[in-house]
Every structure is written in structure tokens, then in C-alpha cells.
Structure 1
């Protein structure tokens, strides 16, 4: 069994607090490049090097604020002895704001002692089911399953021009060009559209149908390509309408929830997402 050194929990708390500090919700948006450091060494008043699990500082109105977090990845509540040890380190380095983080909470004596020395007690943990309930116990939106259906345009497989009588087909030649370069002009209605447009227009003739079809349209008009113009009296079009494709998209908001911070002194908590923070 791998020994729990607590380093993974320290890195977890570091990532959560880095996200919180960078959040607009703390009102620190004027402070740039605030870095949350891990395993920070500071020299105390006795010139002794002291280690702190997490450290950061920032300057506001010419004053530098420094904070440290003691992290304990224990499976039981934090005892008063652990708080006493933290207080001792803080007393030797004036000007530090002390914060204690654990997963399981604190014994009553530890809670009282921390309050007496202005140490903020936090529970920093991964999410659980209660984080997806409001204050009344009603469930919050955690997952959204979206069913999407794509309706595809018709695919033209054949296009035959209907030419006026006495027209020599050999003189018209085959039409060439992209489907958005070949225009149909209907002189009877004044309509004009490309073969690309026709693919979508053909769908109007079918409701909930798919398969292979052929239609004939008669009118006086012309076909224009980039280098050719041909008089017509209509056209026949062969086309295929493919079946709609469906896709289910699952949006799981819980995958964006990095962790949860409970502020025991305030009776509140923050859900730290990868792109915002939700206070509850």
C-alpha cells in the first residue's frame, strides 16, 4: 500500500485556491499574477527555516498581505494539538494570515482554539451528492442530455434539361460547374436559384420521407453556368434524401467542478468550477 504523504492533498488544495484567488468573486481582479506556492520555506524571527504547505501573497494599497495554509489529509477530524502546532509556527513569523484545510473537519476544541487565534478553518474536498442540492434539498441541474437530429439536404444524382422544340442538343453541350455556380432562371415566376439551393428546396416536397426520387418541373427559363447559357422549358431531377442522423450529447457539469471549499466560520461553501465559482 502506498503511504499517504499528504502531498497529493496539498496539490489539490493549491489548485483550488489558485482558482479562487483568480476569480472575480473575491474582488482581487486588480491584482495580477498571484501565484499560489506549495511547500514554501520562510525564515522566522529566530532565523530558523519553517515550512508551510501553501503560501501566497499580494500587494494592495502599498501593503503586502501574506497567507499560508496548513493541509492535513487525515481520515479523522483535526485535533487541538494540530492547531497548537500551527499557531506556534505563525507566532514566529509575524504578519501571516493562517488558514487550516482538512477533508474531514475539526474537533470542537480545535475549532475553539482556531477562533481564538483568528485562524480560518476550511474543509477542502472533492464533490459529493449534497453539493448538487439547494438549501431546501432540491436537486440542482447536474447533467443535461440533448438529443439532436440533423436533417440533410437532398443529394442530386441526375439533372436533365428539357429543351425547347427544334433545339439541337449537341450544340448545348454538357453543363459544367459547381452546384453553387449553376443557376436556374424561371421566367414564369421570376425565381432564380442554384442547384445548391435546389437540394434544400426539394426537401419541401417530402415530409418524413427518405429514399430515391425523381421530379419534373416545366417552365420557360434558362440555365446559366460560368461560361454557358441554355434556354430550357424545364428539367428533370433525380435525387436521394438520406435518413436523418441523430446524436445524443451529454453535458455533465460535475466534470467541471474542481472541488468544494467549506468555510466553517461563515457556514458557507464555494463550488469551484474550472471557469467560475458558485457561492452557496
Structure 2
């Protein structure tokens, strides 16, 4: 005899396995017998009934679920055939599901009438305590941080001023700040999205190496060191798997994993080298693991956690503060809402959208 609680659980698992869009799944459906009249004796119970449409016509799939301690025999198949005939359902769209397998005679008898004989695998998991399994969802964001900038010049200048980090052409047209060139290289793909440390020499074009007053900029060498890292947001959820094996064809009929992350809150992790990140993602145990493609964050991390590009309104504000207050104001900005990855002014949006066609004639990069 079957365990009543486990039998009902098997019915629920089978119903969930066949639950798909555009179909109706019902459990323990009582249908009226075509041969018996009146009362409870005139009703027959179908464990799981699936109703869908095929070329505009309703189609019913009746499923019998059994959790016997032994294999299903041919007389169990015959009993289900009789029930289907009694309520007017076709054997050709019927399915018998068990957790213990079938005798050869049972498989042959079912095949004669077009009935599928399926085995619910992983039946050791079909119990109330271990029905729910682990699921993981990982979102990997790649960030680029500037760790050091080395500048060599022909003459001494005030490092606290941005004047020599602004570049103009011969006509006095502003081209960009040094951080703009560093940011643009990240958008173009330098350095790569692989985690690690990188060092590059930046060569500013002679055509734009001028100050606002038309004088030649005295900067003649720039080295930039980067740290490319990953910020991983991971959601832990619950999963259920369904594996139905076709006893006649001796192959998997259906394998489905359903993962639910609706109540999960993200846990953040930070990584600075590729091997540690890959080990973290690969070695975690879960039946369902979803890893989204890596997303490069569109801003670079500068000194004190300041994200570049900064909004123009913020850069205009910095023009009004004294050099003595600059460090403190930068810290305030880095900790405030204006320091975010998603707000861009129009000119930076245009560069990002058209980066493939945007001419890179302003600077070149050489790995060191």
C-alpha cells in the first residue's frame, strides 16, 4: 500500500511538473461515469487532469499517480484503462506516473493503448522535509578604479589646480579633462573586463595639448594604474526539480527546475582577481544557478570613491570653492546621491551611444 501523505505529495509534484502557460492543471477531479447513475458511485476520480487546446479543440490529459512499494504491474494499467473508458477519456492522451517503475508487462500493456508510462525520478526528495532545494542567482558588475596617476612635466605647476588637466586645441576649443580620456578608454574596452591590475601610458595628441590661453601644455608623460574588480549581488532562493522518465522509450520525458527568488534580498560580494571570482561562482552548490552576463559599470572610480564623469552642475559648483576646501567637498560628493553610476549629462551619453564611431584622435594607450 502507498503512504497516503506521500501519495498526495506525488500528485502535487506531478501537477506542478506539467503546469505550463495556456493549460489548466487540476488535482483530484471527480468525473461522472458514463455507465453508472446517481450518488457517489457514479463519480470516478482522476488524480491530475490537464486541459488545453489543440487547433481550437479542447484536449484532456488524464494522469494516474501511484507510490506503491513495488513496481506497477499490468493489472494496475488495466484498472486505469477501465477508469478512462468509464468517464469517456482517451487512453492515447493518458499518462501513468509511479515512483517505483514498471514490470515489462505493464509497459507493453500501456503501449498497446497509447498510454505513456513515466517514472518520477529523484523520489528520495519527494518528502515534506527535503522537497525544497537551493537556488542561486548572481549578478556580476565590473568596476574600474584608478589607483595611481603619474604625470611628468617640463615645468613645475600647481597639482591642486585643474588647469593643466584641461586640454584645448590650437583654436582654444575645450576638448576634455584628463579623467574624460581615462573614462573614454574604459568605455572603449581598455582595460578589459577581466579582473586584475593594469598599467597604461596615455599619450595626448599634440593637436590638443594646449592650455586655455593658447600656450603649450607642459605635461609630456602620463601613466595610469587601474584595478578592475567585480561587485557581485547574489540572491539565494528556493528551487524544485521535476524529472519524469519514459519507461517505454527509456529516456527522459521531462526535466524541469523552478526557482523562486521572490523573498530573497541581495548579498553583496567584492572581488579583485579573476581566479577568486570564478572559484566563488563555480564552487557554490545549488540545483539551480543563474549567472547573468557581466555588466561593465559605465563610470570609473577616482580618488576618494568619486565616480567619473561627474554631473556638469557639480563641476560648476567646484569652480566656486577654494582649493583648501576641495578635499572635504570631494568627500561629501562621494558620499552623496550625486555620486552614482546612472546619471550622465548629454555629451557623455552621446559618447557612450556612438563610441564605435567616435574618432579616437585625442589620445592613445600603451600597456606598460
Question: What is the TM-score of this pair, normalised by structure 1?
Answer: 0.55
Larger radius of gyration: 1
Distance (Å, rounded) in 2 between the aligned partners of 1:199 and 1:73? 66
Equivalent of residue 84 in structure 2, options 90, 93, 116: 90
Q: 2:144 aligns with which of 144, 152, 161?
A: 152
Supply the distance in 1 between the matched residues of 2:141 and 2:52 (Cα, whole angstroms). Answer: 51
Question: Are residues 1:102 and 2:86 paired?
Answer: no
CA spacing shift, 1:195–1:62, aligned 2, 3 Å: closer
> Which is helix-richer, 1 or 2?
2
Seen in structure 2, the aligned counterparts of structure 1 residues 107 and 164 have a Cα distance that, compared at 3 Å, is closer
Deviation at 1:105, TM superposition (A): 1.2
Q: 1:58 to 1:209 in 2, by over 3 A?
A: closer
**TM-score normalised to the size of structure 2?**
0.44
Partner of 1:258: 241
- How far the C-alpha of 1:123 sits from its partner, in A, is 1.7
Residues 6-45 of structure 1 aligned to structure 2 (within 5 Å): 6-19=7-20, 33-45=22-34
**Structure 1: distance between partners of 2:32 and 2:4:** 29
Partner of 1:76 in structure 2?
Answer: 70
Residue 100 of structure 1: CA displacement?
A: 0.3
Report if the CA contact (8 A) 1:52-1:68 is conserved: yes
Deviation track 1:188-215 (CA, whole Å, cap 9, x = no partner) reads 9x994433333356989xxx8669x999
The whole-number CA distance in structure 2 between the counterparts of 1:158 and 1:73 is 73
Gaps of 5+ in 2: 125-139, 259-368
Q: Deviations over 1:121-166 (max 9, x none)?
A: 11232499xxxxxxxxxxxxxxxxxxx996735357799998999x
CA RMSD of aligned residues (A): 5.2
Q: Which consecutive unaligned segments of at least 5 residues does structure 1 have?
A: 23-32, 129-147, 177-181, 224-228, 250-254, 276-280
Q: State the distance in 1 between where 2:198 and 2:169 align.
A: 27
Shift in Å, 1:35? 1.4
- The correspondence of residues 212-231 of structure 1 with structure 2, limited to 5 A, is 221-223=209-211, 229-231=212-214
Q: Distance in 1 between matches of 2:205 and 2:53?
A: 79
2:97 and 2:120 in contact (8 A); partners too: yes
- Paired residues of 2:242 and 2:257 also in contact (CA < 8 A): no
Aligned to 1:197: 180
Higher strand share goes to which structure?
A: 1
Q: Quick one: which of 49, 52, 75 aligns to 2:46?
A: 52
